[in-house]
Structure 1
Amino acid sequence: MNYDVIVIGGGHAGVEASLACARMGNKTLLISMLAENVGATSCNPAIGGLAKGHLVREIDALGGEMALITDEAGIQFRILNETKGPAVRGSRAQIDMDRYRVIARNTILTTPNLDLVQEMAESLIVEDGEVKGVKSNLLNEYRAKKVIITSGTFLRGVLHVGEIKQVGGRFGEQSSEGLSHALRACGLEMGRLKTGTCARIDASSIDFSVMEKQDGDATPSPFSFRTDRDAFRKTKKQVPCYIAYTNETTHNIIESNFYRAPLFTGQIEGTGPRYCPSIEDKINRFRDKERHHLFIEPQTFENTECYINGMSTSLPPDVQQQMIHSVKGMENAKIVRYGYAIEYDFVDPRELKHSLETKKIKGLYLAGQINGTTGYEEAAAQGLMAGINASLSIQNKEPLVLRRDEAYIGVLIDDLVTKGTKEPYRMFTSRAEYRLLLREESADVRLSGYGHAVGLIDDALYEKVKEKKMQIEEGLQLLQEKIFTPNKEFLAFLESIDEEKISDSLSAQQLVSRKSVDEAKMLLIAPELAKYASYILEEILVEAKYARYVQKQSQEIEKMKKYLKVEIPENFNFKGISGLSKEIVEKLEKFNPPTLQAASQISGITPAAIEILHIYIKISQKKRG
């Protein structure tokens, strides 16, 4: 009954946390209510998307599991925003959700140092402000040096289907009452959030012929840097999704039943996700829209059951039937599972350090929806970091805290622990100030060093990453050193590849940075690059095109690092600073940080506030000087 780490909850955060702890040499216990639901994709049958795909790649680069499972269980792969800049593209995969769960559970069960038990964590054992273990509903007492809670939507979960309310953490599963009370007893600030899911339809009852077919990419790209690309593209079989639309009849049905919608009657108290609203919320907020997209997504490779992405709802069953039957192609749809909303408790993430350890209880870590996030990817990223940091703490090492300029994971955690959230937090590319540096394809180069240092990336893989980095740098140096002059021969060459003439000397890198230059033209301009693999060429091309912008962002980052070391004078008058909110001034006065670095770690102190503070420190120094 004695362990190094106990992980509570077997969702995506729990899977990553427990695997990381076990692989870093800790005797680990994963406690899950239902062993067969470890790794279950409770909502949509997909992994990744805009910004979320970045998180999956970063999890993989650090040695996590999500990308590998996705590559194995994936049934359709697409690059979103492919026509836009590389910084805002996102990989997304439809998955066989049954297969995904089986792979995740089997990985857990076959990993050394990792035990799985089907029990419910009822309370925490806390002594002198430090967690010491967990008590379960079966009266078992498990002791551990660290505890990671990844409870998802199970803390005092309540399900809503129309007027019907039912206690549960997921349909057909119990909620966790005791653990929620235990966290409150620890003095942690908690709140209430809401999320939901849509109805599932018997695929044989859908007329796909009247819908828009949406195929995967002709040459699908795997999520994991560890997956063999060529073999993946040759063997991966894909299935299509379909697009349908709501219409005026659908909207009238929903609108005429607002009085029965838990979202509007006051039955639901928790705040829902702003960027993934229920269909009734969409109709209420955007009544002027003639129609809304619905993505009909297969839940398994056999496509026996479909998920209606875009129609999340908690309306009564009879209303769900009417609105689904009003959609073209679903007139005879048979509902297998009705949609529902779920309310649950979460902990204010400002209660956490950047390591995801709670400030009030030593050794207690939180990850996933318990921290106010929504989405499999956000949960998995936090689970991995909590697992790594709990393990590092056992080894008496400093925590791994990724900066905002290093990873989307760094942005995610920094946003949560410094700003908190009043609604389910979802990752977007717009949240990252340095997104040009945080592209999906560079995740391994950016982060595998950390994964290798903590023991989650082996030597052989890390050598491959270093080789990739070296080849990209070699290719860029070649482009920078290769200079062209506007002589007759070169101007004729430019004309032959349909490129504008030049009047001054320029480097191959400058030429490649033109919008019109693709990979094929780059190889004509610099045939020496042909020795590199296609994925290396892709990165060389992107780096060459955005070299000026990357350099500018890198300079900004160095500037930020430099001035974070700036000392704040004693007895500094924070109230005299224009542009700081009253709340920020109060926090600065309360904690009286000695440096800008220390100020940046205070919950609620934004990067903009740090910049303003830096300006005023410089002004005060000039006055004194």
Structure 2
Amino acid sequence: MFNTEYDVIVVGAGHAGSEAAAAAANMGSKTLLITMNLQNIAQMSCNPAMGGIAKGQIVREIDALGGYSGIVSDTSAIQFKMLNKSKGPAMWSPRVQSDRMRFAEDWRMLLENTPNLDFYQEMVSGLLVENHKVVGVKTSLGVEVKGKTVVLTNGTFLNGLIHIGDKNFGGGRAGERAATGITEQLVELGFDSGRMKTGTPPRVDGRSLDFSKMIEQPGDENPEKFSYLDITKPLTNQRSCHMSYTSPEVHDLLREGFDRSPMFNGRIKSLGPRYCPSIEDKINRFADKDRHQLFVEPEGWNTVEYYINGFSTSLPEDVQFKALRSVAGFENVKFFRPGYAIEYDYFPPTQLKHTLETKLVDGLYFAGQINGTTGYEEAGSQGLMAGINASLKVQEKDPFILSRSEAYIGVLIDDLITKGTEEPYRMFTSRAEYRTLLRQDNADFRLTPKSFDIGLASEKRLKRMEEKQSKAENFVSFFKDTSVKPEEINPVLESKDSSLMKQSDKMFKIFARPNITIDDMRKVSSVEAYIQDHNLDNEVIEQAEIQVKYSGYIEKEKNNADKLNRLENIKIPQNFDYSKLKSMSFEAREKLSKIQPVTISQASRISGVSPSDISVLLVYMGR
């Protein structure tokens, strides 16, 4: 069946696998996407939403690099919100509520229309490895497929075990079998493995809910979109979500099932996501709180199925049902399916290079939950980077690595490779030390030229970005070069309780005031005339406003990044022997020997390596 040798074989077609396959194929590599069920490509296994705090920035970065997640998020959206709009632009985070069925369908259509990409439905049970180099995969039917590189994106399927109360059974997702064989082989090859846990809430019938007892959560009045391309359009119609609360009565009913909870009786030993705890974990850890928010999220435009965000649980189904019926609006609730927890194998990511290639097996890449992350966006970004680097390796080109000052994706991968993780890793804006630079609005400026250079982003995408950048820069220059008279601007300043002008001055200085917005400046006739004459859209106007108002902060952060980036240029020799540095702490020697950082900067970020240890290393290297 498979006579040709593929350049890239991607195992698993979740968010990581789909992005990996798309990237490799679009870069000209002959690619095979092999998965257990082709009907479940890019399935939203948990909540029907994309983006959110820091995650929205990642989706924008994926789109800027030429990935598909932003496009599909737009075409399948049923609601759009820009979160944290009351804070500074570094915190603004786009999020969409998605139509789950349309999301998977649109992903599949995009993949099927991608050149160089083949599909095959089967379970991969092992890798073909020769002399520490991967040469293909083997399926459960014994079919062997040769490949120059392999990207593993197995999600929660590796020896997956589903828990509902005191019942458990094998599975990678509700209604789907677990994948076996790969973990055992990788351990034999010398990899360390571990177990992690995640969970999901019940899905319910919206016809059985009383929304009048809940708080409506509508989308933004003027919704935006994710993709920088003009092939998608902002929503003109949106579906509302709703919010309700648990209560002391609900908590008491949930506690009745604690003795049958796999979390509390010891059957689940692995760690779950810290920032998305189950409802039983929440009422146990935060016993002083008498209520918790529940977000009631529609699964699509036309379905009656709803996702109960905030009620993730592995309690027995009868306990889940009884407790949820005591929540306002849920008195007559009917379940589509109960919530459950799932345990699965992962591989500590310190065993990877920054390209996501494994250190032990040449040509083998890991992406997504196999690396200990949680979230569609985190998975998709890793898949994209693994697909890019697998393709570049086959083409014998330099690897593509993003630094911490270039992208949230760079922060994510550096955190994983350098620090590892013992619990499901989720991205937050607080993890990025350069978040003023890494905004959602400028991801295309940061990343599209880089992606174009490696052959992924199209020329059309690059030209659109350059036109937007030029328009924004020219608009900022207009404010710097154009003066405004007191009689024209003072009425605006007076209405905002801002100090009045006594003489003409550059508009840039007025616009830079904290309480003056672009809407205020548009009341000056020359500003509105410039916008109309140059046909500026909201994207360009917003970009210019951010550059004017935050120029000082942006410049300061750039300088800090430049200083630290100098350490990125100090390379550590490969297989450096840290044991001979006796004046370095034992912990530092042990961790540096294990992780083998590539640069001094990476070494400085490893937990347990102190500044004095770095000084010893610099002295030894003659710095």
TM-score class, shorter-chain normalisation, is over 0.9
TM-score (norm 2): 0.92
Q: Relative to 1, partners in 2 of residues 1:451 and 1:265: Cα closer, same or farther, differing over 3 Å? A: same
Partners of 1:599 and 1:610 within 8 A in 2: no
Residue 25 of structure 1, CA deviation? 1.0
- Equivalent residue for 1:376? 376
Residue 81 of structure 1, CA deviation? 1.1
Whole-angstrom distance in 1 between the partners of 2:594 and 2:267: 39
Whole-angstrom distance in 2 between the partners of 1:489 and 1:62: 43
Residue 91 of structure 1, CA deviation? 0.8
Partners of 1:254 and 1:323 within 8 A in 2: yes
Whole-angstrom distance in 2 between the partners of 1:145 and 1:567: 28
- Equivalent residue for 2:541? 537
Fraction of identical pairs, as percent: 46
Instruction: Please state if 1:515 is matched with 2:517.
Output: no
Which sits farther off after the overlay, 563-572 or 22-31? 563-572
Whole-angstrom distance in 2 between the partners of 1:370 and 1:186: 16
Instruction: Please state if 1:206 is matched with 2:206.
Output: no
Whole-angstrom distance in 1 between the partners of 2:366 and 2:609: 27
- Equivalent residue for 1:37? 40
Whole-angstrom distance in 2 between the partners of 1:353 and 1:568: 14
Partners of 1:57 and 1:223 within 8 A in 2: yes
Tell me the C-alpha RMSD between the 2 structures: 2.8
Instruction: Please state if 1:14 is matched with 2:51.
Output: no
Q: What code does the residue aligned with 1:315 have?
A: L
- 1:194-593 equivalences under 5 Å are 194-227=197-230, 231-233=233-235, 236-482=236-482, 494-495=493-494, 498-501=497-500, 507-524=506-523, 527=527, 529-530=530-531, 531=534, 532-565=536-569, 582-588=586-592
Q: What code does the residue aligned with 1:191 have?
A: G
Whole-angstrom distance in 1 between the partners of 2:35 and 2:286: 40
Q: What code does the residue aligned with 1:599 have?
A: I
Partners of 1:129 and 1:360 within 8 A in 2: yes
Q: Relative to 1, partners in 2 of residues 1:611 and 1:386: Cα closer, same or farther, differing over 3 Å? A: same
Q: What code does the residue aligned with 2:216 have?
A: K
- 1:68-87 equivalences under 5 Å are 68-87=71-90
The counterpart of 1:56, out of the listed 49, 56, 59, is: 59
The counterpart of 2:138, out of the listed 122, 135, 140, is: 135
Partners of 1:6 and 1:28 within 8 A in 2: yes
Partners of 2:567 and 2:599 within 8 A in 1: no
Q: Relative to 1, partners in 2 of residues 1:467 and 1:613: Cα closer, same or farther, differing over 3 Å? A: farther
SS at match of 1:403: coil
Deviations 1:370-401 (A, max 9, x none): 00000000000000000000001111111110
TM-score (norm 1): 0.92
Which sits farther off after the overlay, 110-119 or 425-434? 110-119
Which sits farther off after the overlay, 32-41 or 464-473? 464-473
Partners of 1:245 and 1:328 within 8 A in 2: yes
Number of equivalent positions: 612
Whole-angstrom distance in 1 between the partners of 2:572 and 2:387: 35
Partners of 1:529 and 1:537 within 8 A in 2: no
Partners of 2:604 and 2:610 within 8 A in 1: no
Which sits farther off after the overlay, 381-390 or 443-452? 443-452
Residue 406 of structure 1, CA deviation? 0.5
Q: What code does the residue aligned with 2:194 have?
A: G
- Which runs of 5 or more structure 1 residues have no equivalent in the other structure? none
Partners of 1:348 and 1:371 within 8 A in 2: yes
Partners of 1:574 and 1:589 within 8 A in 2: no
Residue 455 of structure 1, CA deviation? 2.2
Deviations 1:274-321 (A, max 9, x none): 000000000000011111000000011124110000000000011011
- Equivalent residue for 1:101? 104
Whole-angstrom distance in 1 between the partners of 2:329 and 2:464: 49
SS at match of 2:126: strand
Residue 108 of structure 1, CA deviation? 2.1
Deviations 1:117-159 (A, max 9, x none): 1100011000000000000011110000000000000011000
Q: Relative to 1, partners in 2 of residues 1:589 and 1:383: Cα closer, same or farther, differing over 3 Å? A: closer
Q: What code does the residue aligned with 2:470 have?
A: M
Whole-angstrom distance in 2 between the partners of 1:453 and 1:140: 37
Residue 533 of structure 1, CA deviation? 2.2
Partners of 1:522 and 1:541 within 8 A in 2: no
Partners of 1:60 and 1:225 within 8 A in 2: yes
Whole-angstrom distance in 2 between the partners of 1:567 and 1:206: 60
Q: What code does the residue aligned with 1:521 have?
A: D
Residue 22 of structure 1, CA deviation? 1.0
Residue 539 of structure 1, CA deviation? 0.8
Residue 457 of structure 1, CA deviation? 1.7
Whole-angstrom distance in 1 between the partners of 2:147 and 2:342: 31
Partners of 2:350 and 2:419 within 8 A in 1: yes
Which sits farther off after the overlay, 294-303 or 427-436? 294-303
Which sits farther off after the overlay, 552-561 or 519-528? 519-528
Whole-angstrom distance in 2 between the partners of 1:427 and 1:59: 14
Q: Relative to 1, partners in 2 of residues 1:40 and 1:587: Cα closer, same or farther, differing over 3 Å? A: closer
Partners of 1:222 and 1:232 within 8 A in 2: yes
Partners of 2:31 and 2:117 within 8 A in 1: yes
Which sits farther off after the overlay, 610-619 or 420-429? 610-619
Partners of 1:68 and 1:227 within 8 A in 2: no
Whole-angstrom distance in 2 between the partners of 1:40 and 1:587: 37
Q: Relative to 1, partners in 2 of residues 1:497 and 1:228: Cα closer, same or farther, differing over 3 Å? A: farther
Whole-angstrom distance in 1 between the partners of 2:594 and 2:229: 48
Partners of 2:405 and 2:561 within 8 A in 1: yes
Deviations 1:590-613 (A, max 9, x none): 8998xxx6233459626x958666
Partners of 1:350 and 1:603 within 8 A in 2: no
- 1:153-164 equivalences under 5 Å are 153-164=156-167
Whole-angstrom distance in 1 between the partners of 2:41 and 2:187: 26
Which sits farther off after the overlay, 162-171 or 517-526? 517-526
Q: Relative to 1, partners in 2 of residues 1:489 and 1:438: Cα closer, same or farther, differing over 3 Å? A: closer
Partners of 1:108 and 1:116 within 8 A in 2: no
The counterpart of 2:178, out of the listed 169, 175, 192, is: 175
Q: Relative to 1, partners in 2 of residues 1:612 and 1:283: Cα closer, same or farther, differing over 3 Å? A: same
Partners of 1:418 and 1:603 within 8 A in 2: no
Whole-angstrom distance in 1 between the partners of 2:619 and 2:477: 41
Q: Relative to 1, partners in 2 of residues 1:399 and 1:284: Cα closer, same or farther, differing over 3 Å? A: same
Q: Relative to 1, partners in 2 of residues 1:159 and 1:589: Cα closer, same or farther, differing over 3 Å? A: closer
Whole-angstrom distance in 1 between the partners of 2:50 and 2:23: 20
Whole-angstrom distance in 1 between the partners of 2:153 and 2:426: 17
Deviations 1:393-423 (A, max 9, x none): 1111111100101100000000000000000
Deviations 1:490-549 (A, max 9, x none): 767744765313579864333212121111223346616423322211111111111111
Q: What code does the residue aligned with 2:64 have?
A: A
Whole-angstrom distance in 2 between the partners of 1:83 and 1:110: 40
The counterpart of 2:196, out of the listed 193, 196, 215, is: 193
Q: What code does the residue aligned with 2:61 have?
A: E
Partners of 1:419 and 1:603 within 8 A in 2: no
Whole-angstrom distance in 2 between the partners of 1:567 and 1:68: 38
SS at match of 1:264: coil
